Amino acid sequence: MKKLWLSLAALLFSGAIASAQIVTASAYFNDVSTYYEGISTYEVDITVNAAGRRMVGHALFSRPQMVRIDFSTPRGQTLLFDGSTLIIYLPNQETVLQQAATTQEEQISARGLTLMRRYYTVAFESGPTPVPLDEGSSTKVVNLILTRRASSEAFSTIKLSIDANSKLIRRVEATTPQGKVYRFDFTNYSGINRAISDQRFIYDPPSSVNAYNNFLFQE
């Protein structure tokens, strides 16, 4: 679970890619990671489908490593990473989970796709030609398949669907070794490289809820 949350953070840090001539999947992916390092801020709507559950929210990202997701489904749920602490507020359970990040974890979150190049091999799913995001969709994407190099990685494969026109990542499908699939859809990107106040990454959960610190070590 710990690596899963860190992997999600890394994926959120990869919101945009450069327009570039496609030569090989590796070269294309290198262009992706190089360009997104120049993206300082953005906002995006996110839908997560995992293990039969659907979550919908609005995400904020600010470099080097701040992320906030306010969910409308489940309503009121919040995920925040301020660069040093991961906070998850679960209103239905009247619970807030907090986890301090280690220096290594902070580096993983900040470097995102750059580190994924080291731990995953990259290939086109069916070539560089754009295909519909879904059957009948007018959105055309280039699909990349990332396959883990070592068994220690949280996901055995990661599929990135990249908008062929806007060059933004539209979908991520991450599959665990047990066959569980986590799908993240990104729509309505806005505010790319537009200043976002650090105040928006401050979150104080209700004082009446139960708080659990270092919850990732309690599994």
Domains contained in the chain, number = 1
pLDDT > 90 in the chain, percent: 43
- The answer to the question of residue 219 being in a domain is no
| CA terminus-to-terminus distance, the chain | 8
- The answer to the question of residue 8 being in a domain is yes
- The answer to the question of residue 51 being in a domain is yes
pLDDT score for 37? 80
- The answer to the question of residue 217 being in a domain is no
Dihedral angle, C-alpha 76, 82, 86, 89, nearest 10 °: -10
- The answer to the question of residue 134 being in a domain is yes
- CB-CB contact of 72 with 47 (8 Å): no
pLDDT in tens, 48-90: 998 789 999 999 999 878 899 999 999 999 999 988 888 999 9
Regarding pTM above 0.85, the answer is: no
CATH number at residue 125: 2.50.20.10
- The answer to the question of residue 216 being in a domain is no
pLDDT score for 33? 77
Q: What are the residues facing 162 on neighbouring strands?
A: 142, 169
Q: Which of 90, 108, 148 is nearest to 9 (CA)?
A: 108
Domain that includes residue 181, residue range: 2-211
- The answer to the question of residue 218 being in a domain is no
- The answer to the question of residue 128 being in a domain is yes
